[in-house]
Structure 1
Amino acid sequence: MQATEVENFEYLGKSETVEKQKIITLEDVNIHYGSFHAVKDASLPIYEKQVTAFIGPSGCGKSTVLRSINRMNDMIRGATIDGQVLFHGQDLYAKDVDPVLIRRSIGMVFQKPNPFPKSIYENITWGAKINGFKGDYDELVETSLQKAALWDEVKDKLKQNALQLSGGQQQRLCIARTLAVQPEVILMDEPASALDPIATGRIEELILELKQYYTIVIVTHNMGQASRVSDNTAFFMVDEGRTGYLEEYAPTEQLFLNPAHKKTEEYISGKFG
């Protein structure tokens, strides 16, 4: 079951009461790569149909935490996790949970566009076929590309190899491919870092449109991007032993304009990073 929380946020003289549905909860998450303690004691909520940004300096574990949400770290030899990652109250690391099923509900878009060397059409239908989709594939392709704001640009060249698209188009295709398997949550690991400013702007606009229907978690080094697209922000830091930890979590406006911790303020103001 989803937990409903009513929280009161007060900052800059403003008071806001927000009712939010918690869809994912991280509780005391510790992640190791072999003997290296990559992330310690991370606890935070992720709310339905909102955008949560993970920010922080390189090596602070934000991408590691992101990948823990759909068990992508399982693919890294020596990676282990303690604590709980709850999705609708279900521990995703329980012994009877199939990570393949998790990734149908919690999709992922990576830093660099990674379309398959197939047609645009086949890129969209590939995951749906694997998952046993029985519906109209033409409709699925059109709907997914429309949601990714790409349909008008490619509707007359669906048989074209996806690798012929521009970088920004390829990334939106990868988002459309993720949408085609009908997830509830979309994880994005720096989805615009390899793109030019115009393509980045289109991805940001798309994120704001998609949050009407999906819960989104985004890792970004771009402070402006985090402030523009996210509802909540988690700021991760790294200690002297190179272990990442959650320094501060708050509604984005509060965290950027009135952070509770000095390290958060220093990072946002560009004093380090």
Structure 2
Amino acid sequence: MTVTDLSQRPGPAALVLVAHGSRDPRALRTVRALMDRVRALRPDLPVRLGHIELNEPLLPDTLAALGDAEAVLVPLLLSRGYHVKQDIPATAAAATARTRVAAPLGPHPLLAGTLHDRLLEAGWRPRPASAVVLAAAGSRDPDAAADTSHTARLLAGRLGVPVLPAYASAAAPTVQEAITALRARGRRHIAVASYFTAPGRFATECAANAPWIASAPLGAHDAMADLVLHRYERALGTPVTAAA
């Protein structure tokens, strides 16, 4: 009878959270808190962090530390755009690690649920002629706008009020333009839903335009950890990318 050495069996693929990076120290604290929630849900998984820019560890360094191990990169980004389509796949392909790149977090019903919860925390209650501006970072990629619009529709379905996407940069309308458009439709109570993974300059600027209430960013919500693991599991069914 052959005895199998269990210690030689490969463990699960590492889960690498890919954050954008920010000069705001609250962003790194938020991402690390989300990591802790993911680890609590799946203590069997090695969970790592890599940034696209501005913060350490940078993604290439995180992947280099994994050697030739298997890894799934889960972008903590909310739509398709340049980072999702170009930066992250290129970095993954150049690494020695055997990588898969998951889809961005959005759009997904779990995000709409998190946005709803954050609005409730900020004081949201249905009022006559109310509406919401979904404030996102913005991108020149039309797929990013389509993804944000999808999330706006999901949130509108939960709230039962109009939800208009708006952007901090690179796309239109701005948050103030969206507020003006909703007022022109007779909407008097307008909230700003912060469609950002973590606090930062864009989130702060968008919230400052709110005429009524503004929600906190998505942050380390339980549903965000669930969504990260969902993207990880879905990516495990895709082919591995080996170093060129």
TM-score, reference length from structure 2: 0.28
Flag the structure with higher strand content: 1
TM-score, normalised by the number of residues in structure 1 = 0.26
| Structure with greater helix share of residues | 2
